[in-house]
């Protein structure tokens, strides 16, 4: 029997999970369990490159874990763990820091973006976190990394660093490939459709959170930016409408052509109401199940403990190999 390819991905608990998180990542993750060996983590180490309220970070981490499971990521079929529970991430992160060039890190788009947004806290972690991200991936010898278009740069850097290490010490790391789903890979803001949907703009109505009430969801879609043409059609010149069509397509399974036919001759008001309704219908069971799971702290603890145990066994194997190759005395 052919061995399953391994997939690894994680999301920072630095804010609440959004409709974009679900459609661009979680929905696809849930569908991969039968075909792949899946490792999914809560990237709390990455979250602290920006100052966090400690109590809120803990709350969001557990809430995100509950939402992972509620989105269909079954802990019996997938390895789910909290990043900071596996010391090998930071240990390999330091080794890879020493094989990642300053110039490579300074070219990273997200470092430039985050530095502009956090001018009073441009810390070393913000600069070197791509090395930690490389460690996240390489520790588990992942074949595929589900990412949005904006994250491909990180996978490319990971491959470069892994190849550099392999060239010096011989075959150590598997070179991962980015895995980008065709539908729903990039859900945009409802208010600024030229930008990706971001949890940082939930107050503006541009972002739908997985735990939002049906009333809030419908209100956001009614206010969604469209254009003056009043025609439901997918094209580059209509980013707002195209984004709504993408959301509707992911919720209903319909193609863009089918959606255009369904709403031919009907106004944007009717279209936005329909999109809001299918999103409410999609998210209601997720919100209800996540709420139920959050009330069962013992169960959530059992999930992240079991996940850490399984992830540690894989991660430690890679770390021991790396430590031996760079010349460290065995523990």
DSSP 144: E
Backbone angles phi, psi at 237, to 5 degrees: -75, -5
Q: Would you tell me how many other CB atoms lie within 10 Å of the CB of residue 173?
A: 25
Catalytic residue among 114, 174, 238, 272: 114
Cβ–Cβ under 8 Å, residues 276 and 217:
yes
**What per-residue string of b and e applies to 268-306 under the rule 16 or more CB within 10 Å gives b?**
beebbebbbbbbbebbeebbebbeebbeeeeebeebbee
Active site residue 196: yes
Would the CA dihedral through 197, 13, 8, 172 be positive or negative?
A: positive
Residue 4: is it exposed, middle or buried by C-beta count within 10 angstroms (0-12/13-18/19+)? middle
Catalytic residue among 4, 5, 77, 196: 196
Residue 77: is it exposed, middle or buried by C-beta count within 10 angstroms (0-12/13-18/19+)? middle
Angle in degrees, CA 276, 191, 205, rounded to 5? 65
Active site residue 324: no
Residue 129: is it exposed, middle or buried by C-beta count within 10 angstroms (0-12/13-18/19+)? buried
Mutual orientation of helices 297-326 and 124-139 as an angle, nearest 10°? 90
Catalytic residue among 4, 199, 254, 325: 199
Distances (CA, A) of 38 to 42, 46, 61, 141: 14, 20, 19, 12
Active site residue 199: yes
According to DSSP, the β-strands at 79-82 and 144-146 are unpaired
Which positions are catalytic?
114, 196, 199
């Amino acid at each position: 029997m052919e061995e399953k390819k391994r997939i690894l991905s994680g999301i920072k608990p630095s804010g609440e999970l959004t409709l974009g998180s679900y459609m661009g990542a979680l929905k696809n993750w849930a569908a991969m369990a039968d075909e792949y060996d899946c490792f999914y983590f809560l990237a709390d180490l990455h979250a602290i490159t920006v100052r966090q309220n400690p109590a809120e970070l803990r709350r969001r981490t557990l809430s995100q874990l509950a939402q992972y499971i509620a989105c269909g990521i079954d802990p019996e079929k997938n390895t789910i763990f909290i990043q900071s529970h596996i010391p090998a991430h930071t240990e390999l992160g330091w080794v890879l820091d020493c094989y990642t060039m300053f110039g490579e890190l300074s070219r990273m788009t997200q470092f430039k973006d985050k530095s502009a947004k956090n001018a009073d806290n441009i810390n070393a972690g913000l600069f070197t976190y791509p090395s930690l991200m490389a460690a996240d991936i390489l520790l588990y010898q992942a074949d595929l990394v589900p990412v949005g278009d904006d994250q491909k740069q990180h996978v490319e850097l990971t491959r470069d660093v892994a190849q550099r290490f392999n060239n010096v010490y011989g075959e150590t790391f598997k070179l991962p490939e980015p895995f980008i789903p065709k539908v729903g890979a990039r859900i945009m803001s409802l208010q600024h459709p030229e930008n990706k949907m971001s949890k940082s703009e939930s107050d503006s109505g541009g972002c739908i959170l997985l735990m939002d009430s049906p009333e809030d969801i419908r209100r956001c879609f009614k206010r969604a930016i469209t254009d003056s043409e009043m025609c439901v059609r997918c094209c580059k010149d209509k980013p707002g409408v195209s984004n709504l069509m993408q959301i509707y397509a992911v919720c209903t399974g319909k193609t863009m052509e089918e959606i255009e036919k369904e709403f031919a001759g009907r106004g944007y008001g009717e279209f936005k109401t329909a999109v809001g309704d299918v999103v409410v219908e999609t998210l209601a069971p997720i919100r209800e199940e996540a709420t139920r799971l959050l009330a069962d702290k013992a169960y959530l603890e059992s999930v992240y403990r079991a996940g850490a145990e399984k992830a540690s066994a894989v991660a430690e194997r890679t770390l021991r190999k790396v430590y031996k190759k760079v010349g460290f005395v065995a523990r």
